[in-house]
């Protein structure tokens, strides 16, 4: 009887549109998908290809990481396809392939259910799925899950007779549950509904009742005996519709999955709806006009949706990221000059480009520095509104890692990469960095492990093989990394974990590391509370062989002289004439424009490229606190750098005036400084052999003791 | 039909047999005066008679390899290793070890050279001890150098085969940390472990039942951590600890270091959940940690260091710990006073992880230059203190130039396990060493793996390795469900009148972030 019912499916004729349009649409879909993700939403691929969702290593060990929860195999398969996002075009091609597979299977199911050539029923879900792909690359896994469900349903539909179908469903369901996780519920619902809908109520009644119940028990059994996952996770692990990423994509997901649930019944439902329509109206739904209207509506819907979910900020950022990856520093500066940007990462990249062009401390305030020191070294607290769909500060950690690695602070670069792995999982970039750091630090065995893993990847094996070949000869490797080793810090401010102490460690290591010096001073410029420390950096510039003080440093120490009324030891450097002139002009303009409408923009226009303007308009909260300054003071004091210590203790006291511990420490530092001064002044007595003070901690002459004297 | 099926079966059998590589004839091999290099290094070691096959790779050049493993009159195992990877069949290995108990087993390695001739390297020999090792290990797996916790979970591994399984994991991201799993006398059915985060508590697993205890009771500043079961099985000596972590900048010290800034000793009596302590070991002048009951259950060994200001990098070096003990009567709950067992700080060393031997004569422990966190200190080595002579000896056969940590005795006292990062300086791996009846320690060997190249891509680290007699019968799912239960509060009937919160002089990182 059931067989008979199955053959009496609704006629296709009444529902069918023109074959050419339909198949044309099917062929157009991969082209549309590829075009969208290669040219419009390419930012998604660029931003996410270095995230764990694209990390895939061949081998049993890696596969084993996914088999400990239901749906693990689907995650693994998703990772496999996502790895092809290494090239934007290949990533776009992969998305197009996945969506086309989905479309093809959807088409086959619809055809099997008698809904041939239904444009809306076919293409609306494809469009929605493509829109969903703009959320994250991880959706490729969901597309594969959906395709697998359709394939299973198709197999079920192609079987003849109730018993083989039921046997198929009974056997397939637990397998799919283990492999595909939460997606199995679509299959279970489809099969249950088809069994009840397509057959007489009493036909296969036992199966109809028991099958859904047993299916619902699967996660319970998995929860109790098989997988140590929570019950919620046992029921619905993996699918995007249970993801917390959704946000504004919620309605899209609801419509898509809602439609897919009723999809096997769509042709019949449409047939019944049409039957209810008056004959005249029914006639109008056929023919070219109706087809044109349908296509237009679909096209408009698609355009509207893609426009709505297009993220111009991410697009903008992608342009910078690509330039950064190509080390096109001129390109970055040209781009930001053309159109300024408020994005955190853009500020970071612009500062990096300025450094690379040798103008960081001369030109940094010509560009927006709205994120303060957080835009010099990316700070997690600064990422309140992530400009990218990645949404996590840790995704940015590798930019910091690149910075520190280039600077020579290998351990800091290592930590940044490690932190990223610990928090969001492994990425190709972090693995490469760990390998590099181990190699620079001479830990070749540890480096080989990461290289061995990278060798098991599709796109990064070249990197691994290059370095493995290098490591084959230890002497050659030592020679290769000698420069990088020599630039590493020799001083460890171990008690403090803030990023800018890394600059201090490098600056204090006596390598005359220009990058560290410039970033340290740039940090102090961007962190208004640190202005008293800038004057102490002048000696660094002298020792590192600068022929003149960079413009913003001149502005800062001139400002300090004005504020404190005390001269700063400039170690022979002089102010550019322009510095004093513009400072005075700025002061004049400020008093002239006091309270005037548009004063802010006028000042920005005239003096926006100066440190003074940044100093008076910056609203970023001070990054440092008393604890940091106190700790640094302790570190400096322990190395005999009393001047620097006193300066830092004083800053700590500014933030926490009543702290007895700091007062105690400053007293002992002052006493020590006094003793050192006395020892230096008394003829014939030998100076205590303290380590050479770092130039950046040198104080103004009024407070200065040893640092200034030893130079005089 | 039956005939066709029979022929098909025969064909399959013939194909399988034909595809199986037969062992080449090496009878004409010429001897070379060199030992073969193999990885892992399973040469001149004493191995337990119940250990899994010591699979290895031959690191010599050659077109083909053959390995023959033999011992006395026992049937030899011949293995053809075309790519130099020697995987020993489990059944044959088991038989060989059983026959070779107390004797030597020999590994003859043959290599085919380019000329097509076979050469035989010098014979490698290992000794099979008469006493078996506990057949399972339970360990924690985590990232070796983390700023943010990424603990994969607690796992168990059969030492007699290569089978491993998870015990406690965080696959849903539900739990943030599991730590300090501690077994009662290597018994897989009785142990504790701690959870931190939203399901925090101490899980006590005993004879198929689970209880969850909230051990963080006033005036305790932390829940319990390091622990040791009393031989009677009802009491736990435990410490509550506070760590500070550091990330050095200089190249020689790449991985993070930690210092215990506060540690206090308590005894938790299992049944009614009371926690007892005394001011002598619950105060902030000294840091007490790493407790361990003596074999007779009358004393608790622990390490103690003076609390000091921790202001700068160089201050870390001043944190040195001595080996101490204190008596505690589990019947009356009476504490004694702390006694110095060995003043290691005066010798310039710092003691950690003391473990009393079953016979009561020895204390196996770690000595490093500083702190109680030896795993990232190259100076850390295994030491044995003889309580009769009070002499301490470096276990040179088991120690290396890099770090050793976390030693544990087997239930029969003839073996001990420990962790060492000697292979690459980063990942700690499990090692085992034989401790013979004369009190001598033999060369240690690394945990064998089915794939001898396993450690080449192993980037995690083993942690808190415990030897247990057999498989933990409680399943992972049961443990996961048990962890969901509400924690019962432990009681602290006689809290010592001390300031529980340490007056740390450590400067904390600034509030916003700190790592970027």
Instruction: Give residue-wise pLDDT tens across range A364-397.
Output: 999 999 888 888 988 754 444 333 333 445 567 8
Instruction: Compare CB distances from A449 to B143, B147, B458 and report the shortest one's residue.
Output: B458
CA dist B102 and B49 (Å) reads: 9
* B146 and B109 in a common domain: no
Instruction: Compare CB distances from B166 to A68, A415, A638 and report the shortest one's residue.
Output: A68
Contact B250 A490 (CB under 8 A): yes
Give the Å distances, CA to CA, from B251 to A442, A484, A490. Answer: 9, 11, 8
Q: Is residue B1 part of a domain?
A: no
Chain B contact present for A224, CB below 8 A: yes
- Whether the link from the prior residue into B219 is cis, omega within 30° of 0, is yes
* B417 and B269 in a common domain: yes
The per-residue pLDDT for range A214-247, each reduced to its tens digit, is 999 999 998 888 887 778 888 887 777 777 777 8
Q: Is residue B4 part of a domain?
A: no
CA dist B212 and A364 (Å) reads: 57
Task: Confirm if A510 and A639 have CB atoms less than 8 A apart.
Answer: no
Helix, strand, coil distribution of chain A in percent, nearest 5: 70, 0, 30
Q: Please report, for the domain that includes residue B202, its CATH number.
A: 2.120.10.30
- More confidently predicted of A11 and A279: A279
ipTM of the complex in this document: 0.88
pLDDT in the model for residue B496: 62
* B367 and B270 in a common domain: yes
pLDDT in the model for residue B515: 29
Q: What is the spatial order of strands in the sheet that B209-214 belongs to?
A: B177-184, B187-196, B201-206, B209-214, B488-489
CA dist A200 and B232 (Å) reads: 69
Picking from A65, A182, A228 by the largest number of B CB atoms within 10 A of its own CB, the best residue to mutate is A228
Give the Å distances, CA to CA, from B14 to A659, B3, B9, B10, B22. Answer: 86, 16, 9, 6, 14
Chain B: residue whose CA lies nearest to A489: B250
Q: Which of residues 181-220 of A touch B (CB under 8 A)?
A: none
Chain B contact present for A502, CB below 8 A: yes
CA dist A162 and B380 (Å) reads: 70
Residue B165's beta-bridge partner residues? B156
Q: How far apart are the first and last CA of chain B?
A: 73
**How many residues appear in chain B?**
516
Instruction: Compare CB distances from A422 to B143, B425, B426 and report the shortest one's residue.
Output: B143
CA dist A135 and B255 (Å) reads: 37
Instruction: Compare CB distances from A492 to B166, B248, B427 and report the shortest one's residue.
Output: B248
pLDDT in the model for residue A495: 52
* B454 and B319 in a common domain: yes
Contact A229 B424 (CB under 8 A): no
Which of B103, B128, B153 lies at the terminal end of a domain, its last residue? B128
Classify B148 as helix, strand or coil.
Answer: coil
CA distance A330 to chain B (A): 26
Q: Give the DSSP letter of residue A9.
A: P
Contact A497 B250 (CB under 8 A): no
For A259-280, what is the mean pLDDT?
80
Q: Which of residues 43-102 of A touch B (CB under 8 A)?
A: 59, 61, 68-69
Task: Confirm if A162 and A194 have CB atoms less than 8 A apart.
Answer: no
Task: Confirm if B380 and B370 have CB atoms less than 8 A apart.
Answer: no
pLDDT in the model for residue A115: 67
Greatest Cα pair distance, chain B, in angstroms, is 88
Nearest-CA neighbor of B138 among B465, B376, B450? B465
CA dist A137 and A44 (Å) reads: 7
CA dist B193 and B210 (Å) reads: 11
Contact B481 A224 (CB under 8 A): yes
Nearest-CA neighbor of A88 among A47, A146, A136? A47
Residues of B with Cβ-Cβ distance to A488 under 8 angstroms: 250-251
Residues of B with Cβ-Cβ distance to A637 under 8 angstroms: 312
Residues of A with Cβ-Cβ distance to B152 under 8 angstroms: none
pLDDT in the model for residue B513: 32
For A610-628, what is the mean pLDDT?
79
Contact B512 A661 (CB under 8 A): no
Q: How far is CA B8 from the centre of its chain?
A: 50
Classify B216 as helix, strand or coil.
Answer: coil
Check whether A465 has a pLDDT greater than 80.
yes
pLDDT in the model for residue B360: 93
Contact B254 A411 (CB under 8 A): yes
Contact B515 A415 (CB under 8 A): yes
Q: How far is CA A168 from the centre of its chain?
A: 44
Contact B477 A377 (CB under 8 A): no
H/E element, B309: none
CA dist A340 and A316 (Å) reads: 10
Alpha-carbon torsion A342, A345, A346, A350, what sign?
positive
Residues of B with Cβ-Cβ distance to A492 under 8 angstroms: 248-250, 253, 313
Q: Provide CB contacts within 8 A for B346, sequence distance 6+.
A: B322
Contact A421 B150 (CB under 8 A): yes
Task: Confirm if B378 and B420 have CB atoms less than 8 A apart.
Answer: no
Contact A497 B457 (CB under 8 A): no
Check whether A12 has a pLDDT greater than 50.
no
Q: What are phi and psi of A692, to 5 degrees?
A: -60, 135
* B184 and B115 in a common domain: no
CA dist A696 and A698 (Å) reads: 6
Task: Confirm if A190 and A151 have CB atoms less than 8 A apart.
Answer: no
Classify B85 as helix, strand or coil.
Answer: strand
**Taking phi first (over 0 means left), then psi (-120 to 50 degrees means alpha), and beta for anything else, what does residue B181 get?**
beta
* B209 and B82 in a common domain: no
Chain A: residue whose CA lies nearest to B169: A228
Picking from A408, A497, A620, A639 by the largest number of B CB atoms within 10 A of its own CB, the best residue to mutate is A497
Q: Is residue B3 part of a domain?
A: no
The per-residue pLDDT for range A466-482, each reduced to its tens digit, is 999 999 999 999 999 99
Contact B143 A495 (CB under 8 A): no
Instruction: Compare CB distances from B249 to A59, A489, A628 and report the shortest one's residue.
Output: A489
Quick one: tokens of A515?
């990058």
Picking from B166, B175, B253, B457 by the largest number of A CB atoms within 10 A of its own CB, the best residue to mutate is B457
CA distance A217 to chain B (A): 16
- More confidently predicted of A15 and A609: A609
CB atoms closer than 10 angstroms to residue B37 = 14
Q: Find where tokens 């994991």 sit.
A: B169
* B87 and B36 in a common domain: yes
Q: How many domains does chain B have?
A: 2
Instruction: Compare CB distances from A379 to B174, B251, B513 and report the shortest one's residue.
Output: B513
Q: Find where tokens 């083909």 sit.
A: B64
pLDDT in the model for residue A8: 41
CA dist B178 and B196 (Å) reads: 7
Residues of B with Cβ-Cβ distance to A410 under 8 angstroms: 251, 254
What confidence category does residue A711 fall into, taking pLDDT thresholds of 50, 70 and 90?
very low
Q: Angle at Cα A46 formed by Cα A40 and Cα A50, nearest 5°?
A: 155
The per-residue pLDDT for range A89-129, each reduced to its tens digit, is 999 999 999 999 999 999 999 888 876 667 788 889 999 99
* B164 and B120 in a common domain: no
Q: What is the spatial order of strands in the sheet that B85-86 belongs to?
A: B38-39, B56-58, B85-86
Chain A: residue whose CA lies nearest to B454: A61
Give the DSSP letter string of B384-441.
EEETTTTEEEE-TTT--SS-EEEEEE-TTSSEEEEEE-TTTSSS-EEEEEEB-TTS-B
Q: Is residue B101 part of a domain?
A: yes
Contact B312 A400 (CB under 8 A): no
Residues of B with Cβ-Cβ distance to A631 under 8 angstroms: 311, 507
Q: Find where tokens 């006033």 sit.
A: B218
Residues of A with Cβ-Cβ distance to B243 under 8 angstroms: none
Q: Please report, for the domain that includes residue B65, its CATH number.
A: 2.60.40.3760
3-state secondary structure B241-285: EEEEEECCCCCCCCCCEEEEEEEEEEEEECCCCEEECCCCCCCCC
The per-residue pLDDT for range A483-495, each reduced to its tens digit, is 999 999 988 886 5
Chain B contact present for A459, CB below 8 A: no
Nearest-CA neighbor of A195 among A226, A168, A228, A231? A168
Nearest-CA neighbor of A494 among B504, B369, B248? B248
Chain B contact present for A168, CB below 8 A: no
Give the DSSP letter string of A516-531.
HHHHHHHHHHHSGGGH
CA distance A596 to chain B (A): 37
Task: Confirm if B284 and B262 have CB atoms less than 8 A apart.
Answer: yes
Q: Kindly give the parts of chain B with pLDDT less than 70.
A: 1-6, 9-10, 12-21, 145-150, 170-176, 251-252, 494-516
The per-residue pLDDT for range A136-181, each reduced to its tens digit, is 999 999 999 999 999 999 999 999 888 999 999 999 999 999 999 9
Chain B contact present for A456, CB below 8 A: yes
* B485 and B355 in a common domain: yes
CA dist A324 and A399 (Å) reads: 10
For A556-576, what is the mean pLDDT?
91
Task: Confirm if B444 and B454 have CB atoms less than 8 A apart.
Answer: no
- Greatest mean pLDDT range, A457-461, A533-537, A593-597, B311-315: A457-461
H/E element, A432: helix A428-440
Lowest mean pLDDT among A184-188, A353-357, B2-6: B2-6
* B373 and B417 in a common domain: yes
CA dist A687 and A694 (Å) reads: 17
CA distance B336 to chain A (A): 37
Chain A / chain B CB contacts < 8 angstroms: 187
Chain A: residue whose CA lies nearest to B422: A445
Contact A631 B311 (CB under 8 A): yes
Picking from A52, A235, A411, A494 by the largest number of B CB atoms within 10 A of its own CB, the best residue to mutate is A494
Q: Is residue B500 part of a domain?
A: no
Half-sphere exposure of A554 (CA within 13 A, CB side): 19
* B264 and B187 in a common domain: yes
Instruction: Determine the structural domain holding residue B400 and report its residue range.
Output: 136-489
CA distance B447 to chain A (A): 17
* B280 and B165 in a common domain: yes
Here the contacts of A658-664 (C-beta below 8 Å, separation 24 or greater) are A659/A626, A659/A630, A661/A630, A661/B505, A662/A626, A662/A630, A662/A633
Strands B415-420 and B404-409 turn out to be antiparallel
CA dist A291 and B509 (Å) reads: 66
Q: What is the dihedral of CA A303, A309, A312, A313, to 10 degrees?
A: 180
Mean pLDDT (chain A) is: 85
Instruction: Compare CB distances from A631 to B149, B254, B507 and report the shortest one's residue.
Output: B507
Picking from B480, B484, B507, B509 by the largest number of A CB atoms within 10 A of its own CB, the best residue to mutate is B507
Chain B: residue whose CA lies nearest to A491: B250
Q: Is residue B2 part of a domain?
A: no
């Amino acid at each position: 009887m059931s067989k008979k019912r199955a053959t009496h499916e609704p006629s296709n004729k009444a529902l069918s549109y023109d074959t050419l349009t339909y198949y044309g649409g099917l062929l157009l879909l991969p082209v549309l998908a590829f075009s969208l993700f290669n040219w419009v939403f390419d930012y998604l691929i660029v931003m996410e290809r270095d995230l764990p969702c694209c990390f895939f290593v061949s081998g049993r060990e890696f596969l084993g990481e996914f088999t400990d929860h239901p749906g693990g195999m689907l995650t693994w398969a998703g990772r496999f396809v996502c790895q092809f996002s290494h090239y934007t075009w290949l990533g776009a091609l992969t998305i197009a392939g996945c969506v086309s597979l989905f479309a093809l299977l959807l088409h086959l199911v619809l055809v099997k259910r008698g809904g041939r050539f239904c444009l809306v029923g076919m293409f609306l879900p494809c469009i929605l799925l493509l829109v969903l792909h703009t959320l994250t690359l991880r959706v490729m896994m969901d597309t594969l899950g959906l395709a697998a469900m359709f394939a299973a349903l198709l197999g079920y539909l192609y079987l003849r007779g109730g018993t083989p179908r039921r046997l198929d469903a009974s056997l397939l369901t637990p397998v799919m549950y283990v492999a595909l996780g939460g997606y199995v519920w679509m299959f279970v619902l489809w099969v249950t509904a088809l069994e009840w809908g397509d057959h007489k109520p009493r036909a296969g009644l036992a199966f109809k009742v028991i099958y859904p119940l047993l299916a619902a028990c699967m996660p319970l059994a998995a929860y109790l005996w098989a997988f140590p996952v929570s019950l919620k996770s046992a029921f619905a692990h993996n699918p995007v519709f249970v993801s917390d990423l959704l946000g504004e994509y919620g309605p899209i997901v609801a419509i898509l999955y809602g439609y897919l649930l009723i999809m096997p019944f769509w042709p019949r439902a449409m047939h019944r709806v049409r039957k209810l329509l008056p004959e005249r109206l029914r006639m109008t739904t056929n023919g070219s006009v109706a087809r044109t209207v349908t296509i237009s509506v679909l096209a408009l819907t698609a355009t509207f949706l893609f426009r709505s979910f297009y993220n111009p900020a991410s697009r903008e950022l992608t342009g910078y990221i690509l330039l950064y990856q190509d080390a096109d520093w001129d390109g970055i500066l040209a781009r930001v000059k053309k159109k300024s940007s408020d994005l955190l990462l853009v500020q970071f990249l612009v500062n990096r480009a300025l450094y690379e062009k040798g103008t960081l401390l001369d030109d940094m305030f010509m560009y927006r520095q709205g994120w303060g020191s957080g835009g010099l070294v990316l700070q997690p607290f600064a990422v309140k509104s992530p400009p990218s769909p990645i949404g996590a500060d840790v995704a940015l950690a590798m930019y910091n890692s690149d910075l520190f690695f280039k600077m020579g602070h290998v351990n800091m670069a290592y930590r940044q990469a490690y932190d990223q792995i610990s928090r969001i999982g492994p990425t190709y970039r972090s693995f490469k960095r760990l390998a590099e750091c181990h190699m620079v630090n001479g830990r070749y065995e540890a480096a080989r492990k990461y290289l061995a893993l990278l060798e098991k990847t599709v796109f990064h094996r070249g990197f691994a093989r290059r370095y493995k070949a290098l490591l084959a000869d230890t002497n050659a490797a030592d020679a290769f990394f000698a420069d990088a080793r020599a630039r590493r810090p020799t001083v460890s401010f171990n008690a403090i974990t803030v990023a800018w102490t890394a600059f201090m460690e490098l600056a204090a290591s006596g390598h005359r590391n220009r990058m560290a010096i410039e970033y340290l001073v740039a940090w102090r410029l961007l962190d208004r509370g640190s202005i008293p420390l800038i004057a102490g950096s002048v000696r660094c510039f002298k020792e590192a062989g600068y022929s003149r003080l960079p413009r913003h440093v001149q502005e800062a120490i001139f400002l300090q002289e004005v504020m404190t009324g005390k001269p700063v030891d400039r170690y022979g450097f002089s102010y550019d004439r322009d510095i004093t002139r513009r400072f005075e002009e700025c002061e004049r303009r400020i008093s002239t424009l006091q309270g005037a409408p548009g004063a802010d923009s006028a000042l920005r226009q005239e003096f926006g490229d100066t440190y003074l303007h940044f100093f008076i308009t910056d609203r970023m909260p001070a990054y440092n606190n008393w604890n940091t300054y106190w700790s640094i003071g302790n570190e400096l004091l322990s190395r005999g750098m009393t001047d620097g210590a006193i300066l830092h203790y004083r800053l700590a006291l500014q933030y926490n005036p009543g702290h007895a511990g700091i007062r105690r420490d400053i007293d002992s530092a002052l006493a020590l400084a006094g003793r050192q001064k006395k020892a230096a002044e008394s003829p014939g007595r030998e100076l205590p052999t303290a380590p050479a003070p770092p130039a950046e901690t040198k104080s103004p002459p009024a407070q200065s003791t040893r640092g200034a004297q030893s130079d005089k | 039909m039956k005939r066709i099926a029979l022929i098909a079966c025969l064909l399959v059998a013939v194909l399988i047999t034909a595809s199986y590589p037969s062992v080449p004839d090496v009878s004409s091999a010429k001897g070379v005066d060199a030992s073969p290099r193999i990885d892992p290094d399973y040469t001149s070691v004493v191995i337990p008679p119940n250990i899994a096959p010591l699979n290895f790779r031959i690191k010599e050049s050659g077109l083909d390899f053959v390995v023959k493993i033999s011992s006395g009159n026992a049937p030899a195992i011949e293995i053809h290793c075309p790519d130099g990877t020697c995987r020993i069949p489990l059944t044959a290995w088991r038989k060989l070890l059983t026959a070779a108990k107390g004797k030597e087993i020999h590994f003859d390695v043959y290599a085919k050279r380019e000329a097509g001739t076979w050469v035989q390297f010098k014979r490698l020999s290992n000794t099979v001890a008469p006493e078996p090792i506990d057949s399972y290990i339970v360990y924690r797996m985590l990232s070796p150098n983390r700023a943010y916790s990424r603990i994969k979970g607690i796992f168990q591994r059969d030492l007699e085969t290569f089978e491993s399984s998870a015990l406690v994991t965080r696959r849903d991201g539900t739990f943030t940390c599991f730590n300090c799993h501690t077994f009662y006398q290597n018994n897989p059915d009785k142990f504790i472990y701690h959870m931190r985060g939203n399901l925090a508590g101490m899980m006590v697993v005993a004879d198929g039942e689970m209880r969850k205890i909230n051990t963080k009771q006033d005036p305790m500043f932390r829940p319990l951590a390091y622990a040791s079961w009393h031989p009677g099985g009802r009491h736990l000596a435990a410490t509550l600890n506070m760590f500070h972590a550091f990330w050095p900048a200089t190249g020689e010290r790449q991985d993070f270091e930690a210092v215990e800034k506060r540690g206090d000793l308590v005894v938790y009596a299992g049944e009614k959940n009371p926690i007892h302590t005394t001011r002598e070991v619950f105060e902030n002048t000294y840091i007490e940690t790493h407790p361990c009951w003596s074999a007779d259950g009358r004393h608790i060994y622990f390490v103690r260091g003076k609390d000091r200001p921790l202001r700068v990098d160089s201050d870390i070096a001043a944190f040195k710990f001595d080996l101490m003990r204190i008596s505690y009567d589990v019947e009356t709950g009476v504490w004694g006073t702390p006694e110095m067992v060995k003043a290691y700080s005066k010798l310039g060393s710092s003691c950690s992880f003391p473990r009393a031997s079953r016979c009561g004569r020895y204390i196996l422990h770690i000595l490093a230059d500083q702190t109680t966190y030896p795993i990232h200190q190259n100076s850390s080595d295994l030491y044995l203190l003889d309580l009769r002579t009070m002499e301490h000896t470096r276990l040179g056969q088991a120690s290396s130039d890099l770090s050793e940590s976390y030693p544990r005795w087997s239930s029969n006292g003839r073996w001990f396990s420990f962790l060492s990062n000697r292979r690459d300086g980063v990942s700690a791996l499990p090692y085992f060493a034989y401790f013979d009846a004369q009190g001598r320690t033999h060369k240690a060997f690394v945990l064998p793996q089915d794939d001898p190249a396993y450690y080449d891509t192993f980037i995690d680290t083993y942690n808190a390795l415990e030897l247990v007699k057999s498989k933990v019968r409680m399943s992972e799912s049961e443990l996961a469900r048990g962890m969901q239960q509400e924690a019962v509060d432990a009681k602290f009937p006689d809290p010592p009148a001390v300031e529980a919160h340490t007056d740390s002089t450590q400067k904390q990182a600034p509030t916003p972030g700190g790592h970027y």
